Amino acid sequence: GIQVEQSPPDLILQEGANSTLRCNFSDSVNNLQWFHQNPWGQLINLFYIPSGTKQNGRLSATTVATERYSLLYISSSQTTDSGVYFCAVIRDNAGNMLTFGGGTRLMVKP
Amino acid sequence: ETGVTQSPTHLIKTRGQQVTLRCSSQSGHNTVSWYQQALGQGPQFIFQYYREEENGRGNFPPRFSGLQFPNYSSELNVNALELDDSALYLCASSLDRGTYNEQFFGPGTRLTVL
């Protein structure tokens, strides 16, 4: 099956700092989603971005499908950004199951 | 617009018992997927239901089974519970079954098997 690797696995930031999270995948995809999992376990949709660039407030994401990676940018981080960020993909012609990476655990300190 | 809801929020069972978890899909969505998330890991796909039929299954044994109802709500049933079944169970709904559809997750049910 498809492999999804996220880096870094852990990240500690001071409030106000910027960060870049990376997701590499091993095969062509036609669905890629970024999620934020809060401390209570809720997965919150950030972006649906199989290709291209999107922005939503302090967050933006870019997927370069031909090179099999996606980046999530967090600017001016806040303590409420803490949690785990997951990238998940569906491989081309492989049905409908999302395959998740291992996540990036982010802690933003005040 | 009502989001995805799940019940119960927490559940404690003993080894060998059976459990049923419930999920209501987001308004207008006809497809429900179930995922298992062990502590410290990413979610793993269990199966998907589309219009009351199973529409794909991950690498889980037959004691994991499901149902989808005419209103598109869904149940996940696990028989003969094992200690390793302790996990967060997440339900996701999407507008349709195609791979291009964005999936939206519920708050999860945390199952503990003793």
What is the least distance, in Å, from the CA of B4 to any CA of chain A? 11
| Pair of tokens at residue B30 | 């006809």
Residues of B in contact with A97 (CB under 8 A): 33, 45, 48, 56, 58
In the three-class reduction of DSSP (H, G, I as helix; E, B as strand; rest coil), residue A67 is classed as: helix
CB contact under 8 A, A48 and B102: yes
CA-nearest residue to A89 within chain B is B99
Largest CA distance in chain B: 39
Instruction: Give which of B29, B103, B104 to mutate to test A binding, by max A Cβ within 10 Å.
Output: B103
CA dihedral over B68, A2, A49, A106, signed as positive or negative: positive
Determine contact: A56 vs chain B, CB below 8 A: no
Q: For residues A109 and A15, is the Cβ–Cβ distance under 8 A?
A: yes
What residues of B are in the A interface, CB distance below 8 Å? 31, 33, 35, 37, 41-45, 48, 55-56, 58, 88, 90, 92, 97-105, 107-108, 110
Dihedral Cα A55, A61, A62, A67, nearest 10 deg: -170
pLDDT, tens digit, 9 for 90 and up, residues A5-41: 999 999 999 999 999 999 999 999 989 999 999 988 9
Cβ density class A31-67: b for 16+ within 10 Å, e for less: bbbbbbbeeebbbeebbbbbeeeeeeeebbbbbebee
pLDDT, tens digit, 9 for 90 and up, residues A32-82: 999 999 988 999 999 999 999 999 999 999 999 999 999 999 999 999 999
CB contact under 8 A, A42 and B43: no
Q: Which residues contact B61 (CB under 8 A, 6 or more apart)?
A: none
Residue B109 to residue A45: CA distance in whole angstroms: 18
Q: For residues B104 and B2, is the Cβ–Cβ distance under 8 A?
A: no
What is the least distance, in Å, from the CA of B48 to any CA of chain A? 8
pLDDT, tens digit, 9 for 90 and up, residues B34-47: 999 999 999 999 99
Residues of B in contact with A41 (CB under 8 A): 37, 88, 90, 107-108, 110
pLDDT, tens digit, 9 for 90 and up, residues B58-108: 999 999 999 999 999 999 999 999 999 999 999 999 998 887 889 999 999
Q: Which residues contact A57 (CB under 8 A, 6 or more apart)?
A: none
Residues of B in contact with A88 (CB under 8 A): 42-43
What is the least distance, in Å, from the CA of A101 to any CA of chain B? 6
